[in-house]
Amino acid sequence: MELNNFVGEQIKKWRLVRNMNQEELAERLNTTKQTVSRYEKGERKANQDVLFELAKILNVSINEFFPKLENKSDKKIETLAAHIDDDVTDEEMDEIRNYIEYIKMKRK
C-alpha cells in the first residue's frame, strides 16, 4: 500500500473515532474540507507539520500515521513480553525494546 493512502486511511479512521466530520477537522487544521478529503483519499501528502497537528487534534501518537515496521527482533521481543505478563502496554514494550538494544550495544 502506498504511504499516502495509508496515512489517509489513518486520518479518516481517527477522525471517525473522534466523531468528527471533515468540516470540523478542517476548521481545527485551519484548512478546507476539500483538503481534508484529499488527505484521506491519499491524493495530497500531509507534511510533518500537518501530521503533528493531526496527532494533537485527534489525540493520537504521530506514529499512528505510519505503518508498523516489524522484524525478527520485534517478534522475539513481543513473544518475550507476552510471556512476562498478559497486560504489557505499548510503553512497556518500548522500554523492553530499548533495554534489549542497550544490552546489544554493550556486547559490541
Nearest one of 104, 97, 108 to 71, comparing CA atoms: 97
pLDDT of residue 76: 67
Give pairs for 90-96: CB < 8 Å, separation 24+: none
CA distance 55 to 10: 11
Tens-digit pLDDT string for the chain (108 aa): 688 999 999 999 999 999 999 999 999 999 999 999 999 999 999 999 999 999 999 999 999 998 887 655 566 666 665 666 667 777 877 787 777 777 778 776
Cell of 91: 510503553
- Please tell me the pTM assigned to this model: 0.64
